[in-house]
Amino acid sequence: MSLLITGARVLDPASGHDGIAEVGIRDGRIDHLGSGAPAGAYDETLDASGLWLMPGVLDLAARFREPGQSHKASFRSEIPAALAAGITGIVLPPDTSPAIDSPAIVNRIHRSASAAGPLNVHVLGALTKGLAGEALSEMGALKQAGCVGLGNALAPLANSLFARRALEYANGLGLTVHVFAQDAALSNGGCVHEGPVGTRLGLAPIPAAAEVAALRFWISLVEDTGASIHVGRLSTARGAGLVESAQRRGLPVTADVAIHQLFLTDEDVDGFNAQCHVIPPLRSAEDRDALRQAVKRGVIGTICSDHQPHEIDAKTNPFPQTEPGISGLESLLPLALRYAAEAGVPPLDIVARLSSGPAAVIDTDTGSVATGHTADILLVDPQARWRLQAAALLSAGRNTPFDGSEMHGRVVRTLVRGQTVFSA
């Protein structure tokens, strides 16, 4: 099957291309990109005038709850939701049950995902056995099994010497360590940002210092070891400043932010709104604005969903006992486009934060629509305006604070390896 797409505005951040072009797809790959007529005929021609053609979204943090929590979601429930949202690839954190700490688990996940749909599912291996923080995992075996990086999810490590050894081993294998920057002692089991709202509600706080202290610790180890780290889910202005400072000094430090952190603040927790219970917590308006600027400048090179689907009961207890997380797959792209419009971010840059930026973190050759690349692409109507309805989400998780919110842009078609996997 071959396809020629005409008239679309092609946005390819990897090459810097931004303009109307014809894109030919044959045998799963892009075989033509340009304004001139392609050589040879195609089975189908699609007029995409008025639409954007961009690389598929790669989501660096999406939990599909399998294995271990299939009562919340599964590959079969979440893969169609991802494809409909323009997401052609995800990275699974290692905190499944059991944790992803052996090649057997990696292989099991890949088999289950492949059987459920055509989404590209990448896996982070556990940095420590069982994520217990006390014994290093078999990193080499995890890399051979296909892990694209290592991390310990939200779990702390035993001590600082252990963390240094982990970075040294990972660096020797050429693997990036994905860091969740939150000092466990300072966070002390808290559930909201340390500020007036949390104090008034009487909820246990997580100070901004928990993120700052952890970041300083990890960056100091990067200085010593030369290892690469990726900081996941930044939440504070001071944290973004530390990442920017490290990057200016040439240190191999990258970062992402969850899309909800660019819109919500701790004020949204008021009234004990459990839909806004997330970790790291929603911070102050100053933090949110600093994160938006850091994304615009490229200090934060990736926006992710931090997708965490829950069953209804998980959000109906008193606030501290509710489970943190937002069902974010289907709001990732339209919220990112809304942010870009509000913040004045050029289309090519926002596409980069969703595709080539995350692709660079896990060192994959997706995130481009250049000739010869795999045709993992999507067509988007950037002018579409619609309101998200939680009850209409395809994900098994309907837990979202954006129920009823205006969204910008709608996916018209998603292709994975040249095959249409979603069409509006």
CA separation for the pair 235, 230 (Å, rounded): 14
At 305, list the tokens. Answer: 């969903």
Task: Note if 306 is an active site residue.
Answer: yes
At 357, list the tokens. Answer: 């930026």
Q: CA 311, 396, 191 angle in degrees (round to 5)?
A: 45
At 374, list the tokens. Answer: 């795999």
Phi-psi label, residue 367: left if phi above 0, alpha if psi -120 to 50, beta otherwise: left
CA atoms within 13 A on the CB side of 119: 34
Q: Tokens 């997708």, residue? A: 307
Residue type, 92: L
Beta-carbon contacts of residue 241 (< 8 Å; ≥ 6 apart): 290
DSSP 7-24: EEEEEETTTTEEEEEEEE
In 146-250, at which residue ranges do the beta strands (DSSP E only) sit? 149-151, 177-180, 192-193, 205-206, 229-232
Query: What are the start-end ranges of the H helices in 117-183?
Result: 139-144, 160-172
CA separation for the pair 181, 156 (Å, rounded): 10
Q: Which of 31, 101, 287, 306 is catalytic?
A: 306
Which H/E stretch holds residue 412? Answer: strand 406-416
CA separation for the pair 185, 110 (Å, rounded): 35
CA separation for the pair 76, 62 (Å, rounded): 14
What is the widest separation between alpha-carbon atoms in the chain?
Answer: 69
Q: Catalytic residues, which ones?
A: 306
